[in-house]
Structure 1
């Protein structure tokens, strides 16, 4: 006669729970009082959260040692994750806490938020500063004075207690010079404890159509593509601020095909020091791998090529793209295209998610840690995109917020990607009447906190919380 699960030896039950990720452990605890006793064990929650964090974000930084948290805090992480998933999976997710709003000293743009912290990076009138989203005040560190427009921001490079990002700024007047900046944020308990940066002037061809910036643990660089060409210029420099005077080196790399700006989008991303150039034309995404060893040599060469088909985007116009903080969770990029249906005279916004898998290849600097062996997933949003500034991809790449106009009425839409099925879903987020979506200047979704931060054109900073 088979034994009930609750009668199994404790060590066997532990082995079973090690393979569970949320929400399954919660269901297990509710089966009987004997199994509910597991909820009082810190090791149970640590194992559950570690397993969950290997598939999606939770309310603490990715590289945090979970053993430092109390039992109640660990339970809180799990409950917060569960509540957020339930809310965001509804057709109309609701706000769960009072909306907070603060008037800033002037208009600002959110260019980054550090995962699972209160830290935002804002650009205010050419000054890039570290901002406390919870207290709505700047952290006490000098701003990066650029006097310029932030044109491109990299995905971050993260380590325990530290997050770095790179961005390009371009002056709005002659001589239109471009500078590359690297900002490093050290944080503890959700707050910034240090904010430093260094910058350098870089040259960009006048005829360039696409500029992407990338950052790894020890390198920073740009990929520049010129219209009607089948090559790109890869520029690589060192990250070490004490040695940033070392000159960059450039390589000309042949792309999979000729690039046309009216049809294509080109971006770059990195993972474990490897560089990936992505070319997307609405029909297929081609991914070019440049190995870590090649990237650090004097000449970058293609190490491999992948292809991922795109459904339902034929006949659309390229608009912009977004990259998540990391492809670790299974999404490398999101492409945003605009489409008009001649038959129905209706506009729509197409969001295409580029999925990837981890190869678990040997970390020898040559083998690609990512593979792109499945088709993309596309979600069509009825309506007109209000502004490119009102599109944001979260850290995991699973959630994208977009402000669209439908029947002369603006809506804050959440598009969710579901890696288990390679499918998508469409949701309309609740927004209080006090917030005028047409008047927004910038928006940012933080999946680790279940929050949407926004700043309007009058400088009012607001946070909407859905957990």
Structure 2
């Protein structure tokens, strides 16, 4: 039996295991198979397979059956065109760049992009507001004024709702921090637009430590903190929302199994009710699993302990920042950014982007919440870009975690800064570096904030003149 003689339902099962562009190649093999291009079920199968690998241009939990045939085709082809463009050495803008004036002239940072929507969350002068990236205007909801300086940010996406947690430091006239407050902002959305924005706040009772990381999920929020060279950390977990009301609040001291050097990164993420404490020290990453079962019971028991190695040829380094994608679902947990140089050649600076990789465990959990849903690759993957990151506000990791955009100053001070795209390729576990095309109307030297959105194929830029520009690569 030849392929074209197979029943449609069998062909659709085959399509489910074919990544793009293979299903499209199948269509052009013969006339009978080409008829599949007019089947909604064909395009739904293609997109379901695609969005298990990386985001597409709609919220991650969207029911694809609501889309028309032309819309389904457009989603698939747009994804394919974007990947092809971003794989070029110099990805090109395919639509005219747009720009809009922000409502305030103060320095403004993009702090969140809600996956598959037009929603950006901007912070300026201690205030937060939602921005419509498509219309180039704020959404009609009052800004949230924290009354202080935002020091920690964490976000979590759920169907139709996004949770954003922040910690703001409140200062007195002498610039001494009087108080720290935690805000939990709930952003509900539909059709890519904000439908409501609410918040609740509370005082942070724990002291600020040398290393601190904030995390949030649909039912819990918390922080992890420790001091330099300590082998213990303070983990604070609180329940939030309707689900979290059954979640016991708890404070615990946990052993970290290694000391925390001054150059380390300490990160905590939540996934499927489990916590992962990530400690990176430039040579390796330790990931400590805190099971959902214990958290639900008000305990913070240690579960699995994972390690991932980092290879580097540079003798000196300086920590810059870390980033976490919207979810580890696609296989990237975090990215760490450092500056490197060798003795005797301090002017030849290199910025590294190190990807911590994960997979899903095959272990059976039987619903107990004791087994980690994630396990981690034994080796991280790093890319080295000549030059140095201009500022930690000028680097961003997208929703999948595969793409990082950053403003890099070349080692030759006479050269202008570059807007680079660092890509991780999961099929080959390799990386590549690309120079994004930027219109002459945008001065990269004046940028204050960057954001890359792999669902829309856009890069958003905020400059010192309170202008937000959007570059579209699909």
Unmatched segments (≥5 aa) in structure 1: none
Counterparts in 2 of 1:174-253, with a 5 A limit?
A: 174-206=176-208, 208-240=209-241, 248-253=249-254
Tell me the equivalent position of 1:459. 466
Contact 1:117 1:189 in 2 (8 A): yes
Q: Give the match's secondary structure for 2:238.
A: strand
Matches within 5 A, 1:21-100: 21-100=19-98
Give 3-state SS (helix, strand or coil) of 2:210's partner: strand
Contact map agreement 2:314 2:342 (CA 8 A) in 1: no
- Counterparts of 2:184 and 2:138 in 1: how far apart (Å)? 19
Question: Structure 1 residues 71-80 or 31-40, which shifts more?
Answer: 31-40
2-structure distance, mates of 1:394, 1:10: 36
Q: Which residue of the partner structure matches residue 379 of structure 2?
A: 375
For 1:259, the equivalent position in structure 2 comes to 260
**How much has 1:314 moved relative to structure 2?**
5.2
TM-score computed with the length of structure 1 as normaliser: 0.95
- How far, CA to CA, are the matches of 1:10 and 1:193 in structure 2? 40
Matched, 1:428 2:441: no
Q: 1:317 Cα deviation (Å)?
A: 1.9
Is contact 2:91-2:437 (8 Å) kept? yes
Q: How far did residue 374 of structure 1 move?
A: 2.9
Aligned-pair CA distance for 1:298: 3.1
Q: For residues 314-352 of structure 1, what are the alpha-carbon distances to aligned partners after superposition, in whole Å with 9 as ceiling and x for unaligned?
A: 532221100000000000000001101334430010000
Equivalent residue of 1:11, what SS?
helix
Query: Equivalents in 1 of 2:334, 2:460: separation in Å?
Result: 21
Alignment partners' CA distance in 2, 1:30 and 1:178: 61
| Deviation, structure 1 residue 241 | 7.3
Structure 2: gaps spanning 5 or more residues: none
Indicate which of 353, 356, 362 corresponds to 1:354: 356
Structure 1 counterpart of 2:395: 391
Indicate the residue corresponding to 1:324 in structure 2: 325
Separation in structure 2 between the aligned mates of residue 415 and residue 218 of structure 1, nearest angstrom = 33
| Alignment-derived partner of residue 402 in structure 1 | 406
1:26 offset after TM fit, Å? 1.3
The secondary structure found in structure 1 opposite 2:78 is helix
Q: 1:275 to 1:247 in 2, by over 3 A?
A: closer
Distance 1:188 1:337 in 2: 38
Q: In structure 2, how many angstroms separate the alpha carbons of the residues matched to 1:84 and 1:313?
A: 33
2:460 & 2:313 partners in 1: Cα distance? 30
Q: Contact 1:92–1:427 (CA<8 Å) still a contact in 2? A: yes
Which residue number corresponds to residue 13 of structure 2? 15
8 Å contact kept, 1:282–1:314: no
CA shift digits 1:360-400 (9 cap, x unpaired): 44242110000013310000000121000001000010000
Q: For residue 205 of structure 1, report the CA deviation from its aligned partner.
A: 2.6
Please say if residues 21 and 49 of structure 1, whose CA atoms lie closer than 8 Å, have aligned partners that are also in contact: no
Residues paired across the two proteins, number:
462
Shift of 1:146: 0.3
Using the alignment, how far apart are the partners of 1:115 and 1:242 within structure 2?
22
CA distance in structure 1 between the aligned counterparts of 2:129 and 2:92, rounded to whole angstroms: 31
- Going from structure 1 to structure 2, the CA distance change for 1:178 and 1:242 (only over 3 Å counts) comes to farther
Give distance in 1, aligned partners of 2:389 and 2:80: 31
Question: Residues 279-327 of structure 1: CA distance to partner in whole angstroms, max 9, x if unpaired?
Answer: 1111110000001122233331211100001112653222110000000
Structure 2 Cα separation of the partners of residues 26 and 169 of structure 1: 50
Go from structure 1 to structure 2 and tell me whether the alpha carbon gap of 1:243 and 1:79 turns closer, same or farther (over 3 Å shift). closer
**Using the alignment, how far apart are the partners of 1:360 and 1:239 within structure 2?**
30
The alpha-carbon deviation at position 411 of structure 1 amounts to 0.2
Mapped to 2, the partners of 1:418 and 1:74 lie a distance apart of 25
* 3-state secondary structure, aligned to 1:257: coil
